[in-house]
Amino acid sequence: MGLYTILALAFGLSADAFSFSLGLGMTGVTRRQVVLISLTVLVFHIVMPLAGYFAGGVIGTFLGRYAGITGAVILLLLGFRMIWESVSRHKENFTGYVLTSAYGIIILGATVSLDALTVGFTLATQKVALVFPAAVIGLVAGAMTFMGLGFGRKVGDWLGGRAVLLGGLALMYIGIKLLL
């Protein structure tokens, strides 16, 4: 597999991480959260293709069907909670919990990396050496997440209180698009 093909694959897999992190960045993430989330996505985008590669075809066929649906549902739920949080008088700060708990950050990293798992299954059938492609996929996904969170932070500062609402709408849009 050539470098341009690997980069195209990496950018394709990272597009949802960028979109997701853009919406999440609007909620008012700290610099520390930007770094933690970006590194988590980077690691998951390396581990998931490797896990998919070694898991094999039978498991891959089963999980491949449900990986996209699972990720979409999680994005829809998170988006709904963000919208609810922005219009509700009772502030639960669910988004803040997700961003500040290790469990929440790991779930976010795994969610946006599920598609990389199925790529690992596919690359195994093509007998591709996977270490270099997985590293490139992880680095690109981490960088795209970092840029999305950073840009989302700037947009969130500019939009003020409406940022959480818009971020929630963006996550729900991505979730619906993944389901269709």
Q: Any residues with CB less than 8 A from the CB of 3 and at least 6 apart, and which?
A: none
Least confident of 22-31, 57-66, 138-147, 165-174: 57-66
112, 24 Cβ separation under 8 angstroms: no
Residue with tokens 């729900």: 172
The pLDDT of residue 142 is: 95
* Alpha carbons 116 and 6: distance in angstroms, whole number: 13
124 vs 54, residue with greater confidence: 54
The pLDDT of residue 62 is: 64
Q: Of the candidates 3, 6, 25, 1, which has an alpha carbon nearest to the alpha carbon of residue 138?
A: 6
Return the beta strands (E) in the chain as ranges. none
What average pLDDT does this structure show over 98-110? 75
158 vs 143, residue with greater confidence: 143
**DSSP letter, residue 130:** -
* Alpha carbons 110 and 40: distance in angstroms, whole number: 8
95 vs 136, residue with greater confidence: 136
What average pLDDT does this structure show over 107-132? 78
Q: Of the candidates 163, 45, 53, 159, which has an alpha carbon nearest to the alpha carbon of residue 108?
A: 45
Q: Of the candidates 151, 136, 125, 157, which has an alpha carbon nearest to the alpha carbon of residue 11?
A: 136
SS3 of residue 173 by DSSP = helix
The pLDDT of residue 41 is: 93
Which of 70-74, 82-86, 108-112, 136-140 tops mean pLDDT? 136-140
Residue 119: count other Cβ atoms within 10 Å of its Cβ: 24
SS3 of residue 68 by DSSP = helix
19 vs 136, residue with greater confidence: 136
For the cut 60, the answer to whether the pLDDT of residue 91 exceeds it is no
Q: How confident is the model at residue 64 (pLDDT cuts 50, 70, 90)?
A: low
Global pTM value = 0.72
